[in-house]
């Protein structure tokens, strides 16, 4: 890996380099995505089935679009029973973590007859998109579905592309079944997003769409936002390791490669105050690359977006980490908890040498659907709040309103909204 002295100039170059990976920079695909969305919106099932035949080489019909109970049983039969139990334990951890995020409706009543409050209710119907083929990740099924069930969403549907034989990845089906999904449709790509956003004869319209996907899926979610809600527009995966001289270079190298293997746009960055560690990590990366299966992808990822940044001191290292606002941030310093208190921007923070990033991907419980491309400065991981909505409650007695009605009328009139003022005034006419 390249080792770069961290200066204001190199920091700016790295930030600009990383931003090139944003889905917002792939406008060349938008015309095709909009064509697909419009077709499905106007033609419904016909367009959905045509695009599935074109891209997935499978002829959908109203009779075969939905995954059957028999197909789910077949999926279980194809799975390693021990892996099924691991998935069950993972679900238990994810559910326990997200249950702590639940909030209750609240009301505040005062003696003058004023009642204010917030009513919290789950979203009615959620659609979860799950990639297929080589990008099938059953763990992402759990991270989307479990928070929704904890929030109380009653109707969760899932779409995932079929293979040319009409089959769906068995791990995806088993994970969905364990997580509690009752309805799964064989559809993928922008056409599946359109089907969930607008509804077709076979696929019902949802209120919110969540889940990762390729650039077509990301741009489709961006385009339908407003017709439905979405979780986020996810970019390529990224990891930042913040380390000092106490870090184990072998662990750091392994952790950087754990994200570089996702795809050629993935980013893996080490920021350290130790030149010795930087050189050791670079050497360990080369050793691992010789024996890991996705070597070509990892090499391209590191060539494009891999850096070892050598900082003059930890303050500069932390400042740069906050500027990058990485999806995953590992802190491998002498006192990682102290370092953490100075971190403002990160999707998820992993503390200490035994808290490597894959722990969060699969098992610990916190959600692994995280803000990317610097959006951790203003976005959060997927959580229970993503699947609820809040309604304000306002109730005033005559006595409570009488005490403030002139203030309201004056405020409304200052904005030129005389009908607003009149709506209050008529209640106190003699």
Give the residue numbers annotated as catalytic, written as ranges.
327-328
Question: Contact, 136 vs 171, CB < 8 A?
Answer: yes
Strands (E), 80-227: 106-109, 115-122, 125-129, 155-160, 183-186, 208-210
Instruction: Return the beta strands (E) in 244-291 as ranges.
Output: 267-272
From the list 325, 303, 418, 315, the residue with the least C-alpha distance to 370 is 325
Expressed in angstroms, the distance from the first to the final Cα of the chain is 82
The sign of the torsion formed by the CA atoms of 90, 91, 92, 94 equals: positive
Phi and psi at residue 144, in whole multiples of 5°? -90, -45
* Cβ-count burial 359-393 (b if 16+ within 10 Å, e if not): ebbbbbbbbbbbbbbbbbeebebbbbebbbeeeee
The three-state secondary structure class of 363 is coil
Residues 148, 180: Cα–Cα separation, whole Å: 10
The Cα-based distances of 49 to 188, 216, 219 in angstroms read 11, 17, 20
Burial class (CB in 10 A: 0-12, 13-18, 19+), 329: buried
């Amino acid at each position: 890996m390249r080792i770069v002295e961290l200066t204001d100039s190199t920091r700016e170059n790295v930030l600009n380099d990383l931003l090139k990976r944003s889905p917002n920079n792939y406008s060349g695909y938008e015309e095709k995505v909009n064509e697909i969305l419009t077709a499905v919106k106007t033609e419904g099932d016909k367009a959905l089935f045509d695009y599935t035949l074109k891209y997935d080489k499978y002829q959908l019909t109203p009779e075969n679009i939905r995954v059957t109970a028999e197909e789910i049983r077949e999926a279980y039969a194809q799975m390693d029973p021990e892996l099924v139990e691991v998935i069950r334990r993972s679900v238990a951890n994810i559910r326990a973590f997200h249950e702590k995020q639940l909030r209750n409706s609240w009301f505040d009543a005062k003696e003058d007859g004023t009642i204010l409050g917030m009513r919290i209710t789950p979203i009615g119907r959620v659609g979860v998109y799950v990639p297929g083929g080589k990008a099938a990740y059953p763990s992402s099924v759990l991270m989307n579905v479990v928070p929704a069930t904890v929030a109380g969403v009653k109707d969760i549907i899932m779409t995932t592309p079929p293979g040319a034989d009409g089959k769906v990845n068995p791990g995806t089906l088993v994970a969905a079944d364990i997580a509690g999904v009752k309805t799964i449709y064989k559809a993928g790509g922008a056409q599946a997003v359109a089907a969930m956003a607008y509804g077709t004869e076979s696929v019902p319209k949802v209120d919110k769409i969540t889940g990762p996907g390729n650039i077509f899926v990301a741009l489709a979610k961006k385009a339908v936002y407003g017709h439905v809600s979405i979780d986020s527009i996810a970019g390529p995966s990224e990891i930042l390791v913040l380390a000092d001289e106490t870090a184990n270079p072998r662990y750091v190298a392994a952790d950087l490669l754990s994200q570089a293997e996702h795809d050629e746009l993935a980013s893996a960055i080490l920021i350290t105050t130790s030149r010795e560690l930087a050189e050791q990590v670079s050497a360990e990366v080369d050793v691992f690359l010789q024996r890991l299966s996705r070597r070509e992808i990892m090499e391209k990822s590191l060539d494009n977006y891999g850096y070892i940044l050598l900082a003059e001191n930890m303050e500069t290292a932390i400042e740069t980490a906050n500027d990058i606002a990485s999806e995953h941030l590992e802190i491998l310093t002498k006192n990682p908890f102290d370092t953490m208190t100075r971190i403002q921007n990160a999707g998820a923070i992993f503390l200490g040498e035994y808290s490597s990033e894959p722990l969060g991907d699969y098992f610990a419980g916190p959600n692994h659907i995280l803000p990317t491309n610097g959006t951790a400065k203003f976005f959060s991981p997927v959580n229970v709040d993503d699947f609820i909505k809040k309604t304000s409650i306002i109730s005033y007695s005559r006595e409570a309103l009488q005490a403030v009605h002139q203030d309201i009328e004056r405020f409304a009139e200052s904005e030129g909204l005389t009908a607003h003022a009149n709506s209050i005034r008529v209640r106190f006419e003699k």
